[in-house]
């Protein structure tokens, strides 16, 4: 369900193919996940929360202006990103992929969950050099569409893989946005082995369709998938870099 202020009816109509529309003066308290549209854009409404959630573009702009090209992410992708074709294959809210676009790359952001994709699309339309796709990353890498059509698979300069991190036993919860992302996208029956198998398959596809670097974002202590060419480590995450085979 997409709730929207009456004056946002025209903007809400764009999303009418993906969800039901309902006018509302303010963000409702919901029993299942939904979206709310006002003058600021789309907000995520989640059960148990009185206030909706929206990823911050201000934080994104700050990251870009405060040494964005020197971040571990940018260095892993190649630092000089101007003009590169980048596939952010597990985009989520798009924070990393949109940063790469701010640094000069042409970025395609892929998200398979419809609600998250709608938030991503709303966010990305304000960032130049971006497009968003609601589909499985494996389909995009192989040139298949969700409708079953096929096209020649594109060769990318950089492929970024940022799959959901496996759960770990810790008391501190991730920030609210990441909590919602996990709630909406994680299969409750999937364990770490299933996640690793899925990542290994996606990594193989990415390497086959990449002429430059495949970058996998992981926690510092997570296992390494396959034979990594080199790593760039930050304070809490690392970037495993694999050379493409295309």
Domain borders along the chain are 2-45, 57-243
Q: CB burial class (10 A; 0-12, 13-18, 19+) of residue 171?
A: exposed
Which strands make up the sheet holding 2-4, listed edge to edge?
21-23, 2-4, 34-38, 41-45
In which band, very low, low, confident or very high, does the pLDDT at 183 lie, cut at 50, 70 and 90?
A: confident
Give, to the nearest 10 degrees, the angle between helix 95-102 and helix 57-65.
50
pLDDT tops 80 at residue 194? no
Residue 172 to residue 128: CA distance in whole angstroms = 36
Stretch among 51-55, 138-142, 188-192 having the lowest mean pLDDT: 188-192
Q: What is the pLDDT of residues 211-229, one digit of tens each?
A: 999 999 999 988 899 999 9
Dump pLDDT digits (tens) for 97-118.
999 999 999 999 999 999 999 9
Query: 171 or 57: which carries more pLDDT confidence?
Result: 57
Structure tokens at 119: 């938030």
CATH number of 57-243: 3.40.50.150
Give 34-48 pLDDT, tens digit per residue. 999 999 999 999 999
d(CA 161, CA 226) in angstroms, rounded, equals: 14
């Amino acid at each position: 369900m997409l709730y929207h202020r009456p004056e946002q009816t025209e903007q809400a109509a764009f999303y009418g193919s993906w969800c039901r529309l309902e006018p509302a003066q303010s963000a409702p308290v919901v029993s299942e996940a939904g979206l709310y549209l006002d003058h600021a854009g789309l907000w995520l409404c989640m059960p148990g929360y009185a206030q909706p959630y929206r990823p911050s573009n201000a934080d994104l702009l700050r990251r870009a202006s405060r040494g964005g090209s020197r971040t571990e992410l940018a260095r892993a992708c190649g630092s000089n990103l101007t003009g590169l074709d980048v596939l952010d294959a597990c985009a989520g809210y798009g924070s990393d992929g949109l940063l790469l676009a701010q640094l000069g790359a042409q970025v395609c952001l892929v998200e398979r969950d419809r609600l998250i994709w709608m938030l991503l699309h709303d966010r990305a339309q304000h960032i130049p050099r971006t497009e968003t796709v609601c589909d499985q990353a494996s389909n995009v890498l192989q040139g298949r569409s969700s409708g079953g059509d096929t096209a020649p698979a594109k060769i990318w300069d950089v492929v970024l893989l940022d799959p959901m991190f496996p759960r770990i036993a810790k008391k501190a919860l991730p920030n609210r946005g990441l909590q919602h992302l996990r709630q909406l996208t994680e299969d409750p029956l999937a364990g770490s082995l299933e996640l690793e198998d899925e990542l290994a398959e996606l990594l193989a596809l990415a390497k086959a369709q990449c002429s430059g670097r495949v970058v996998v974002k992981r926690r510092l202590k997570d296992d390494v998938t396959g034979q990594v060419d080199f790593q760039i480590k930050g304070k809490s995450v690392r970037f495993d870099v694999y050379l493409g085979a295309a």
